Amino acid sequence: MTPDVLVVGGGPAGASTAFNLARRGVRVALVERARFPRSKPCAECLSPQASRILEGMGALRELESAGAWLRGMVVRAPDGTWAQGDYAAAHGFRAARDAGLAIRRDVLDDVLLRRARDVGVQVLEGTRVADIVRDRTDAVCGVSLLGPSGRAELRADLVIGADGLRSVIARRLGLARRASWPHRISLVAHYRGVRDVTAYGEMHVEHDGFVGIADVGAGMTTVAAVFPVARASAISGDRSGFLDAWLASKPHLERRFAGARREGQAMAVGPFASHARRAWHPGALLVGDAADFFDPFTGEGIYSALRGGELVADAAMQALGATEDMRAVAFRAYEHARKREFGGKWWVEKIIGASVSFPRVVNRAARALAGRKDLADLLVGVTGDFVPASRVLRPGYLARLFLLPVPTTRATVWP
C-alpha cells in the first residue's frame, strides 16, 4: 500500500493522528522504531479531559480496567506546606470525567496502537526513520527507513512527525529549537509497596528537584523525579541508585518507600524545554512532543498529544489533494488552532516551571493554595485541561497566589 499519510511515531500523538485519519478513509502508514508493548519514561497521568478522546477511540473501557482513577492533585512545598485540588469542584467547570486516569505507558500505548490498527492503519514496528525525502521544491514527500529488511524509501503525500522530544522529523527540517531555560532531566521508575498512596496524584517540590507519585493500578506506583541538568553526570553512573538514594534522603518520602521494591531499572529522559520554530514545513506537520515540550510539572502531556492528533488530522484532511497554496493555508490554520487550544496552558506551564526553581516562591504559592481551596481547585482544573487557562492567568488570581497576604492555614505537615 502506498499511503496518503505517513505518521512517524506510535505513541499517543501518532496513534491518535493515525486513528483519526484512517477512520475517515485516509490510507495511513505508521512507522515506529520500537516494538510494542514497550516502556516509556513518563509521569503516566492523563487529565480528566483525555477520557473523551479515549472513549472516541474505543479504548477507555480497556484502559480504565488496567489503570487507576485520580480525583485530583496534592502539591507539597519544600517547607512542608501542602495543598489539595480536586477535579470535581464548585468552580462550575466539568470535564469529560470527574477523575483523571493514571496508567502505565506500556499498557496505554499498546492499546492505542491496536485501536489504530483496528481502523486500518498499516503499522511498521521495529523500523527507524533515518532521513526525510524531499522533492524538487524542497517539500517533504517521504522518508528513508531502516528496518529488519534493510534500508527502504517510503513515499506519501504528507508526512506527520509524532516522534517525540528528540523528533527526527523536526531536526531534519531544521525546526527543532531548545529553550534557553530551564533545562531539566527526569528519572522514572515503578515501585511496589509504597505506603499511603491515595486516589490523588502527588507532586513533591524539594530544594534539589521535584517528584511526582501516582497509583497506576495493579499495586504499582509510578515515580517521576525531575532534576536540574547539572546533576546529569551524577545521575549517569547509576540512575536507579541515584533515584533510590534521593527518595531516601527526604524524610517524608523515606518512610513511605522504606519497604517498597523497585520494579526494573529507572529510565532517564531529557533535557526538557524544547519546541519547534513552527509545527509545519511544506509536505510535513509536527504533533505532540515533536512540536513542543516545555516541562513535566503539570504532568498532562498525554492529553496534549491525543488532542493534537485530532487537530493535525483535521489539517491533513484539508491538505490532502489541495493545491500548494491551499495546503499552505491549511498548515497555517493548524498552527493557529494549536495556539488557540494550548496557548494559555503553555503560559501556565512556563510560570509553574519557572516557579519550582525558587523554593521560597513555591512555599508562598502553596500557602495561598492551602488557605484558599477554590484557588487550588481552579489550578488543578487548568492542569486537567477543562478549566480555561485564563482563569488562573488573571492578575487577581496571580496576586492571590504570589503577592497578597496569606490566611492562616492548617498545620503545614504532610498528612
Output the pLDDT for position 273.
60
User: Mean pLDDT across the stretch 255-267?
Assistant: 95
**pLDDT: is 146 or 244 the higher one?**
244
Q: Please check whether residue 182 is in contact with residue 357, taking contact to mean a CB–CB distance below 8 angstroms.
A: yes
Output the pLDDT for position 341.
95
Q: Say which amino acid occupies 183.
A: H
* Grid coordinates belonging to 230: 547539572
Output the pLDDT for position 294.
61
The DSSP H or E segment spanning 122 is strand 122-125
> CA-CA distance, 276 to 286, in Å (whole number)?
8
Residue 223 in this model has a pLDDT that exceeds 50: yes
With a pLDDT cut of 70, the percent of the chain lying above it is 94
Stated pTM of the model: 0.94
User: Mean pLDDT across the stretch 373-385?
Assistant: 96
The DSSP H or E segment spanning 281 is strand 280-281
Dump pLDDT digits (tens) for 41-72. 888 999 999 999 999 999 999 999 999 999 99
Half-sphere exposure of 279 (CA within 13 A, CB side): 28
Report the 10 Å Cβ neighbour count for 234: 11
Which of 221, 229, 273, 271 is CA-nearest to residue 247? 221
> CA-CA distance, 354 to 38, in Å (whole number)?
32
Q: Please check whether residue 413 is in contact with residue 81, taking contact to mean a CB–CB distance below 8 angstroms.
A: no
Residue 274 in this model has a pLDDT that exceeds 70: no
Which region among 84-98, 99-113, 400-414 has the lowest average model confidence (pLDDT)?
400-414
The DSSP H or E segment spanning 55 is helix 50-56
Distances (CA, A) of 364 to 78, 213, 325, 356: 10, 22, 52, 11
Q: Say which amino acid occupies 321.
A: G
Q: Say which amino acid occupies 224.
A: A
Residue found under cell 494549536: 338
* Grid coordinates belonging to 104: 502505565
Q: Please check whether residue 139 is in contact with residue 322, taking contact to mean a CB–CB distance below 8 angstroms.
A: no
Residue 411 in this model has a pLDDT that exceeds 50: no
Which of 245, 267, 247 is CA-nearest to residue 188? 267
Residue 236 DSSP one-character state? H
Residue 349 in this model has a pLDDT that exceeds 90: no
The CA-based diameter of the chain, rounded to the nearest angstrom, is 68
Q: Which pLDDT band holds residue 269 (cuts at 50, 70, 90)?
A: confident
Q: Please check whether residue 276 is in contact with residue 290, taking contact to mean a CB–CB distance below 8 angstroms.
A: yes
Output the pLDDT for position 233.
86
User: Mean pLDDT across the stretch 249-265?
Assistant: 96
Backbone angles phi, psi at 12, to 5 degrees: -55, -40
Average pLDDT over the chain reads 92
Dump pLDDT digits (tens) for 305-334. 999 999 999 999 999 999 999 999 999 999
User: Mean pLDDT across the stretch 158-173?
Assistant: 93
> CA-CA distance, 77 to 278, in Å (whole number)?
35
Which of 177, 196, 189 is CA-nearest to residue 41? 189
User: Mean pLDDT across the stretch 113-126?
Assistant: 97
**pLDDT: is 295 or 14 the higher one?**
14
With a pLDDT cut of 90, the percent of the chain lying above it is 80
Dump pLDDT digits (tens) for 176-203. 876 656 678 899 999 999 999 999 999 9
* Grid coordinates belonging to 221: 506506583
Dump pLDDT digits (tens) for 276-307. 789 999 999 999 999 887 665 665 689 999 99
Radius of gyration of the chain (CA): 21
* Grid coordinates belonging to 212: 511526582
Q: Which residues contact 51 (CB under 8 A, 6 or more apart)?
A: 60, 95, 96, 97, 101
Please state whether the peptide bond connecting residue 228 to the residue before it is cis, i.e. omega within 30 degrees of 0. no
> CA-CA distance, 182 to 342, in Å (whole number)?
20
Which of 385, 380, 179, 389 is CA-nearest to residue 301? 385
Dump pLDDT digits (tens) for 366-376. 999 999 999 99
Q: Is 120 left (phi over 0), alpha (psi -120 to 50) or beta?
A: left
